[in-house]
Amino acid sequence: MIYVWYIIYNFFLLPIMMLIGIIGIIFNKKIRLGFLGRFNTFRILDNYISSLNKNNAIVYWFHVSSHGEFLQTRPVLLGLKEVEPHVKIIVSFFSPSGFENVDDNLIDCKIYLPFDFPWLVRKALKKIKPKKLIFAAYDIWPNLIWSAKATDTPTVLFAAKFKKNTKKLIPLVRNFYQHVYSNFNSIYTITKNDDEKIRLILGKSNKMILRVLGNPRYDQVKNSQDQYSINHSKEIFNRNKSIILGSMHSEDKNCIINGLLDLLKHDDDFNIIWVPHEPTPTEINNVYDYFAHKGYTVELYSKIDNLDANDSKITIVDVIGELSKIYWEGKIAYIGGGFSTGIHNVMEPAIARLPVIFGPRYDNFQEAIELIDLGGGWSINNNKEFYKIVNKLLNNEEMLLKASKAATDVIHNNIGASTRVVRGIIRD
């Protein structure tokens, strides 16, 4: 049956994906950047491999989809280098948002993942000769996995997760993924539910190593914030009465804006820090003009020295890379994406001790589910629900404190996954 799927994938599914990609490069800069970047992959590999002592170099090849998956992977890279400092690490990216924005000294060589044609991925495996090929989360490529199996290259999937109603359990789809996942040597899932789903996909005959090891992303969030949190450890009661609106989409604005205006109207101390998901000049100007026309004072984050001393009712963050620190300046966080593509990172506000609010599209995000279960997070569906939760948190100190502690507990209850994954990679 695997040969049937090999034919279907290579002669039907893959050509369709390539055709869509070729059409996409005409209209989408991001797709175009990734497509063209792949033509440099083997030049970069040739230059790097030729610089290694081929007799002694031990290489691990990690593949991640994008920037978010790299952040999930980073504590694993750090742990691996601490245990085996002599190893070399190659990281491949699928998306330009990862390749173009990640510059990390833990990476010895950075490449775009080659197009998933059999001859290309075999060529890459032959050049790299990795001790192990390691995939993060969900971005797996059939020909690369099948070729690794054919060349006796051990493969690992960590932080594996599956949607609540995953289509991978539909019989025909399941059969395809069974012939993909069954070629891994080890699969490490985030939760027990994920473990149950992969066992259903694989069937009873699987012989691979399956472990529930957690999500290394929690370790990354904690590690990146430890030093900052030491220096910004103000009790949540002593912070400004600010709500941090992180990674805002236009759909989020439409669904909470009336609630925000009501809060501004009824509480003179209340203020907003607005962080667009895409801080383009157009988006920033739209938000600026909207609130200015309502009569509120508006300031750009780049123009102020200190958020504590900022008297503006609305602050718009017009720079990239500051959001994780900004969360420490408020009392409540709202995370965007829940009314469109799915919520963004809820862990950064949680480690900053903030109660976290988000839209209804969170089912595929285990950390959001845990926040709700522990009382550190809420999902809202409209302006009315948004206003009700925020107003209660701002006016009930006991509720605010309990939610703040619960949000932080979600992080601390889950740390240590990266250590477990590193042990698995080395020992399994």
Q: Delimit the domains of the chain by residue range.
A: 2-216+416-427, 222-412
> To the nearest whole number, what is the mean pLDDT of the chain?
92
Q: Residue 379: its pLDDT value, please? A: 98
Concatenating the DSSP letter of every residue in 109-133 gives EEEEPPPS-HHHHHHHHHHH--SEE
CA distance 39 to 194: 36
What is the average pLDDT across 265-283?
Answer: 94
Q: pLDDT category, 85, cuts 50, 70, 90?
A: very high
What is the per-residue pLDDT across 124-161, written as a single tens digit (0 to 9) for each?
Answer: 999 999 999 999 999 999 999 999 999 999 999 999 99
Instruction: Indicate the burial class of 164 (C-beta count within 10 angstroms; 0-12, 13-18, 19 or more).
Output: exposed
Burial environment of residue 181 by CB neighbours within 10 A (0 to 12, 13 to 18, 19 or more): buried
The pLDDT tens digits for 86-109 are 999 999 999 998 999 899 999 999
Residue 94 structure tokens:
């699928």
Q: In what order do the strands lie in the sheet with 109-112?
A: 109-112, 88-93, 59-64, 132-136, 155-160, 186-189, 209-212
Q: Which CATH architecture has domain 2-216+416-427?
A: 3-Layer(aba) Sandwich (3.40)
Q: What is the pLDDT of residues 374-408, one digit of tens each?
A: 999 999 999 999 999 999 999 999 999 999 999 99
Question: Of how many residues is the chain composed?
Answer: 428
**191-233 pLDDT per residue, tens:** 999 999 999 999 987 789 999 999 998 898 887 765 555 455 4
CA distances from 277 to 115, 250, 253, 319, 357 (A): 29, 9, 11, 11, 16
The set of residues, in sequence order, having a beta carbon less than 8 Å from that of 249 and lying 6+ positions away, is: 277, 336, 337, 339, 340, 341
In the prediction, which pLDDT does 164 show?
81
CA dist., res. 21 & res. 28, Å (int): 10
Tokens standing for 160? 């594996």
Average pLDDT over residues 341-351: 92
Query: Would you place residue 70 in the very low, low, confident or very high pLDDT band (cuts 50, 70, 90)?
Result: very high
Minimum mean pLDDT range among 2-11, 31-40, 50-59, 170-179: 50-59
Q: What is the pLDDT of residue 163?
A: 84
CATH number of 222-412: 3.40.50.2000
Q: Identify which of 390, 393, 413 has the alpha carbon closest to the alpha carbon of residue 403.
A: 393
Percentage of the chain exceeding pLDDT 90:
80
Whether 234 has a pLDDT exceeding 70, the answer reads no
Residue with tokens 């009824």: 266
- What's the pLDDT at 205? 72
Q: How far is CA 110 from the centre of its chain?
A: 19
Per DSSP, 13 falls in state I
pLDDT mean over 309-314: 88
Q: pLDDT at residue 266 above 60? A: yes
Largest CA distance in the chain: 71
Contact 66, 136 (CB under 8 A): no
Q: How confident is the model at residue 110 (pLDDT cuts 50, 70, 90)?
A: very high
What is the pLDDT, as a whole number, of residue 15?
A: 94
CA distance 72 to 88: 19
| 8 Å CB contact between 64 and 70 | yes
**Of 381, 379, 376, the residue nearest 393 (C-alpha):** 376
Q: Count CB-CB contacts under 10 A for residue 1.
A: 9
* Position 3 confidence tier, pLDDT thresholds 50, 70, 90: confident
Mean pLDDT across the stretch 285-301?
96
What string of DSSP letters covers 149-215?
A: HHTT--EEEEEE---TT-GGGSHHHHHHHHHHHTT-SEEEESSHHHHHHHHHHH-TT--SEEEE---
Q: Do the first three CATH levels of 2-216+416-427 and 222-412 match, i.e. the same topology? A: yes
Band of residue 53 on the pLDDT scale cut at 50, 70, 90: low
Predicted local confidence at residue 62, as pLDDT: 98
Q: pLDDT grade, residue 315 (50/70/90)?
A: very high
pLDDT of residue 55 exceeding 70:
no
